Amino acid sequence: MNPKKAIALNKKKQRQKLIEIGIVLGLVFIFAVILPILLPGFRLRLLGRILSLSIVALGIDLIWGYTGLLSLGHGIFFALGGYGLAMHLKLQLPDGQLPEFFTLYGVRELPWFWYPFYSFPVTIMAVIVIPGIVAGLLGYLVFRNRIKGVYFSIITQAALLVFFNFFNGQQKLINGTNGLKTDTETIFGMLASSDLAQKTFYIITVIALVVVYYLCRLLTSGRFGRLLVAIRDDETRVRFSGYDPTGYKVLVFAISGAIAGIAGALYTVQTGIITPKFMEVPFSIEMVIWVAVGGRATLIGAIIGTLLVRLGQTFLSESFPEVWLFFQGALFLIVVTVLPDGIVGWWRDFAWNKLRHILGLQKRIITYPSLEENPEVIQEKAELEEN
């Protein structure tokens, strides 16, 4: 490649980067500043919930879209994050008092694992680290034995069921089926359901989404990201090239779990309660379909997919509650069979070209069907002209 061309390419890249940063900043401005003014409180709360769900979707895209690991158990990590923050809120009490549900079961002393959650910084750490560690451990035990594909999926599903059973059955530890209510608790002296608190949660959600998005960008570009794609495409080859895929998979699964934990915590405070229901099987599979709708292996697709599906669900299930399940089932079928690359993939591979074609612009070349566009031919031509 000659230096002139390289500089031109570099400039183009820089310009693209600037445009992208502009778009992201604009979106953040709309979501963080304009929408809170325009939308009534309960709608904003809904939007905040959806945005926090799109954070999990990013985590799932990271492992499914890029690394090819389909987890049907992300509800575990989501709920762990939620429980962490909810426990902190439950402990906003005068000294020596226990959260009221304990008295119902005759528990006098706070279970040991509640103590760290008195401290806010520790809670924030725990919300991220605990789901990450649980995911990493589960991942290690499974990946180490080269269990993958559908086996991995159904093992994560079984793990989900197990966690559900555990949280559901342990009234004396974590209030069982009833879950932990956060709406009536205070955080920093503020009622968690008050408008100000909710608005703050919303803004934090928007910021967290941007941060997580850039984290995922960082992970999926560069060598690490390319290695994830390589693992997805041909794991055996990766091994024979001298990489140990297990470590990479464990790390990326743990990161994905930690992301789900953050999302769960944000979702919980904007819902007002966390119960073991967050770990039901359908919810975790639903998370996967958000990614599929938006488009796998495109981070922006995960966010778009979540927004579309959740908004659609809100309106449809409000107006036709019985048929919603039919719609959802059909959505799974349609996305998998007709739109395997999701909306973003469809736009990139098909609609964009079609649009350019209609506007009379040249078709973008993905391969080089004609001689004039073959890079080898172009290079030779350029060399001939130079001489």
Sole residue written with tokens 């103590």: 115
Q: Is 158 in the site for other proteins (CB under 8 A)?
A: yes
> What DSSP character marks residue 182?
-
**In the range 172-201, which residues lie near other proteins by CB under 8 A?**
none
**In the range 76-135, which residues lie near other proteins by CB under 8 A?**
none
Q: Would you say the C-alpha torsion 128, 99, 109, 177 has a positive or negative sign?
A: negative
**In the range 215-254, which residues lie near other proteins by CB under 8 A?**
219, 222-224, 226-227, 229-230, 233-234, 236-237, 239-245, 247-248, 251
Least separation in angstroms between residue 178's CB and other proteins is 16
Q: Distances in Å between the alpha carbon of 3 and those of 7, 104, 113?
A: 6, 75, 61
Q: Is 282 in the site for other proteins (CB under 8 A)?
A: yes
What's the first-to-final CA gap in the chain, in angstroms? 16
Q: Is 145 in the site for other proteins (CB under 8 A)?
A: yes
One-letter amino acid of 19: I
Among 322, 372, 383, 385, binds other proteins (CB under 8 A): 322
At 181 the three-state DSSP class reads strand
What values do phi and psi take at 280, rounded to 5? Answer: -75, 150
Tokens matching residue 43? 């709608």
53, 290 Cβ separation under 8 angstroms: yes
Give the residue with the Cβ less far from other proteins, 33 or 154: 154
Q: Is 161 in the site for other proteins (CB under 8 A)?
A: yes
58, 216 Cβ separation under 8 angstroms: yes
Least separation in angstroms between residue 95's CB and other proteins is 31
Least separation in angstroms between residue 350's CB and other proteins is 13
**In the range 327-346, which residues lie near other proteins by CB under 8 A?**
328-333, 335-337, 340
Give the residue with the Cβ less far from other proteins, 42 or 240: 240
Give the residue with the Cβ less far from other proteins, 94 or 364: 364
